[in-house]
A and B are shown apart, each in its own frame.
Chain A
Amino acid sequence: MTKARLTSIGLGVAAAALALLAAFVITSLVLLAAGDPVGDVWGQLLAWPEMRNWANIINNASVLYLSALAVAVGFRMNLFNIGVDGQYRVAAFTAAVVAGEAWLPGYLNTALAIVCAMAVGAIWAGIAGLLRAARGVSEVISTIMLNFIATGLVAYLLRQVSVREEGSNEIGTREIPEGSRIGGIPFGDYEIYGFIVIAAIAGFAFWFVLNRTRFGFDLRATGRSTTAAVASGIDVRRMTVAALMISGAIAGLVGLPILFGDSYTYGSTFQSGLGFAGIAIALLGRNNPIGIAFGAVLFAYLDEQSNPLQILVGVSPDIVAITQGVIVLTVVISYELVRRYGVRLEQREVARVLASSRTDKPKEVSA
């Protein structure tokens, strides 16, 4: 590992630590202003979770991880896929229907459902990509609108296919047969989603494709400078569509750990809002698969630890939403500060080399 790389990792860790510290201070001030017991709140939030809570944290983190990964693909190309939320709902619904119908046996059924979910997510995001490439429509606007359309579409289709258990007011898709569910991985006395393996594979694939392939290079180059990308021969329109489709395909996986590991059906209480959390976590993790993993665990940890706040401390868990929002802000600010510091550091290094290389070969000529 080179010195430059060590420096950059060191700076990254410093930036995150700085941001979290700032968020801690700001949240404490908010608590003080609201007259809430600051010590009790942190006591609850920072208490070491029990194994059961850890299992929940890891489960939620794996879901958030996929969501942030999907957002990060777009971010790497300077595209803002706000539509992960809609994409994962359309995709999870599709997967639930396909798996529920069980046209294929056992895990073939599972695989088919996952492929369908990714395809549907990719197509849904691809619409925004095509609009951007062909008509220059901002992907921010189109993905937001597609979120609304997704909500309506899924609600409509859900009513068409829904089955309802006797006595329940819930509606949902047909339950996935036992043979097609993804079993949990033992974790102490509890279990974590087996799907976490797929999330890890997705994280590795993300890293590999972006950093080791020509396609990934083109994608990152386009994100860093569209003009330079065009001049280098990259077809930016095609990359736009491709990047959004990949983002959508990953978004298609977001709801699946829950679907195959917990609920086995897509219904009215299926977790929502995951796409927006993903945006915050992608920022927090600097679009890096390892960083995102930390960010996802942090957000899941805060969500889990905040749940009993109302019951045990008498403080609204909304305080954690404030903390999360503040973390996003402080993170972005501190990353930018540290980035500038890093560039300055490097410029000095370059100047130093330049200065010393000149004195290496002194050539003096008098006029």
Chain B
Amino acid sequence: MPTAAPPSAANAEVAVRLRGIGKRFPGVIANDDINIDVHRGTIHAIVGENGAGKSTLMKILYGVQPPDSGTIEINGEQVNLHSPADAIKAGVGMVFQHFMLADNLTVLENVVLGAERLHGIGAKARAEVMRISDAYGLGIQPDRLVEELGVGARQRVEILKVLYRGARIVILDEPTAVLVPQEVDELFGNLRGLKAEGLSVIFISHKLDEVLSVADEITVIRRGTTVQTVEPEGVTARQLAELMVGSELPSPSTEASTVTDQVLLRVRDLALPSDYASEGGRPLLDSVSFEIHRGEVLGIAGVEGNGQAELVESIMGMRPAATGLIELAGDDLSSRSTRQRREDGIGYIPEDRQRHGLLLDAPLWENRILGHQSRPPSVSHGLVDRRAARDDTQRIIREYDVRTPGPDVLARALSGGNQQKLIVGREMSGEPSLLIASHPTRGVDVGAQAAIWKHIKDARRNGLAVLLISADLDELIGLSDRIEVILRGRFVGSFDPAGVTPERLGSAMTGAGETA
């Protein structure tokens, strides 16, 4: 496939030139003939499905892995990057998706940590931090503890860390995944500030609207190779997505309402005191009341950490301190254990699939049993039926398109999207009446996302009630029949997805909506 020469920005100097980059693992080609030019003073987005080879490419550029073939030129000079230290020396810095900050240190200390030799740890370092912060408009407060900072501010600290070490080329891996829309706008402002100072930004994302709004050039990667480099003016999000998957796309939009008049889940005055209640901590949940009918999807919108996880865990019976009424199809659940609640027909897709949803070092068929230990087909009369568990895992692999050589593979070996498909398939088996889905498509590639949406919608048509928690507002709006916004443990607003924009939801999530 020919790589089109970048139409504009061609006059700018090339900061990073990748030519013919290839990386093979036995039996797999992770990268093959990657060609990218990143120009100085531009934001260059790299988009692609999970597993398309983005992270391998970035590891190569950041010196974590050497390429098998191809050349890397930085500012016109060919370089060999054997370690991140080499990359930093060459002016390449990386901001990871998961922040690497020490909570109990101040911002200044975090920045200086590991780079003490540059400007010491005293007044000189502080002056340098403030200089960078002012130059790029990062608004850093050097003496605050990191634990007091919000997500957006932490991300700015990470960016500052990279700049402090002298980076002129900044790689950001999925930087918006953890941000609310307002914070995303701030981040983009910062990135434009970097660009204006002549730095180059490489921006990895799969949120195509954001990419289109901020990037100067977009390179699409599919199956380890560069498909095309385009300018945002010339394409739509849909076209980009189709380039990414190489096929036409579904959308999350709901079809005709399937909401019935039968209440399945009734929650009244659900409250959960803070773990530090005696020290005056604010309750984690405060008089939350709602109902979900059969065939209805209730979406919960909110900035992370406002009680979503606690709400889900209270309904699942994992929070013994919770008070209030929870009824499933008219039965009071308060005295039932998590296992009984599951047996009563609640399916549960946990927020953190690796910690709560999977046994990473167990084979897939054992993961199929998890949460269904008391139910056929995998278990009968207290004995594990391995054959049945394997067969049913095969069914899930087939129906949910889990990409794996078979049910005996360890869960750890699967990519995030395939792990998630396995979980969804598992939780949908046994025909649940209620599905609690926390971020069901987070970190999942476009193809898998579409498949998961389809399964949820199909089940909803058959009368499944769904409690959907998601940070992806498009997903919430597209799937839900109703959206509740949660803020500091309380429901603060109810929206009809048909008439709401992500911006309005975002305002409500941060509390700005109360006055608006």
Contacts and interface: CB of A to CB of B under 8 A. Distances in A.
Q: State if A and B touch, Cβ cutoff 8 Å.
A: yes
Interface of A: 2, 4-5, 211-218, 220-221, 224-225, 227-228, 230-235, 343, 346-355, 357-358, 362-365, 367
A213 B382 contact: yes
Given A217-B384, A224-B359, 17 more contacts: A214-B383, A221-B366, A225-B358, A230-B338, A231-B350, A232-B338, A233-B339, A350-B403, A350-B405, A350-B414, A353-B403, A358-B223, A362-B246, A363-B246, A365-B242, A367-B230, A367-B243
B51 A354 contact: yes
B98 interface: no
Contacts of B370: 221, 228, 232
Nearest to A231: B356
Contacts of B239: 367
B29 interface: yes
> Max chain A CB contacts within 10 Å: which of B230, B373, B374, B404?
B373
Contacts of A358: 223
B410 interface: yes
A212 B414 contact: no
B62 interface: no
Contacts of A365: 242-243, 246-248
Nearest to A346: B413
B357 interface: yes
B412 interface: yes
B196 interface: no
Interface in B374-409: 374, 379, 382-384, 386, 403-406, 408-409
Q: Which 7 A-B pairs have the closest CB atoms?
A: A233-B339, A352-B27, A232-B371, A346-B413, A351-B28, A233-B338, A363-B247
B339 A234 contact: yes
Interface in B1-49: 25-30
A230 B414 CA distance: 23
B435 interface: no
A363 B245 CA distance: 8
A227 to B, nearest CB: 5
Contacts of B30: 351
Interface residues of B, number: 60
Interface string B343-377: 00000101010011111111000100111011000
A225 B360 contact: yes
Contacts of A221: 359, 362, 366, 370, 373
Contacts, number: 144
A233 B356 CA distance: 11
Name the residue among B25, B352, B386 with the largest chain A CB count within 10 angstroms.
B25
A227 B356 contact: yes
B337 interface: yes
A355 B31 CA distance: 12
B341 interface: yes
Nearest to A342: B410
B456 interface: no
Interface in B320-355: 337-342, 348, 350, 352, 355
Interface in B409-446: 409-410, 412-415, 418
Contact of A350 (B360, B366, B386, B404): B404
Contact of A348 (B25, B248, B408): B25
Given A218-B373, A235-B339, A367-B230, A224 B362 contact: yes
Given A353-B403, A363-B246, A228 B355 contact: yes
A227 B394 CA distance: 26
Nearest to A227: B355
13 contacts: A5-B408, A224-B361, A225-B355, A225-B360, A231-B316, A231-B356, A232-B338, A233-B339, A351-B25, A351-B30, A351-B51, A353-B403, A363-B246
A343 B412 CA distance: 8
Contacts of A367: 228, 230, 235, 239-240, 242-243
B498 interface: no
Given A214-B382, A343-B413, A224 B360 contact: yes
Contacts of B384: 211-214, 216-217
A231 B371 contact: yes
A9 to B, nearest CB: 13
B409 A4 contact: yes
A100 B235 CA distance: 90
B318 interface: yes
A234 B373 contact: yes
Interface in B61-75: none
User: Which of A211, A213, A217 gathers most chain B CB within 10 Å?
Assistant: A217
Nearest to B362: A224
A128 to B, nearest CB: 23
B409 A350 contact: yes
Contact of B383 (A5, A213, A354, A362): A213
Nearest to A211: B384
A361 to B, nearest CB: 9
Nearest to A366: B243
Contacts of A363: 246-247
Contacts of B413: 343, 346-347, 349-350
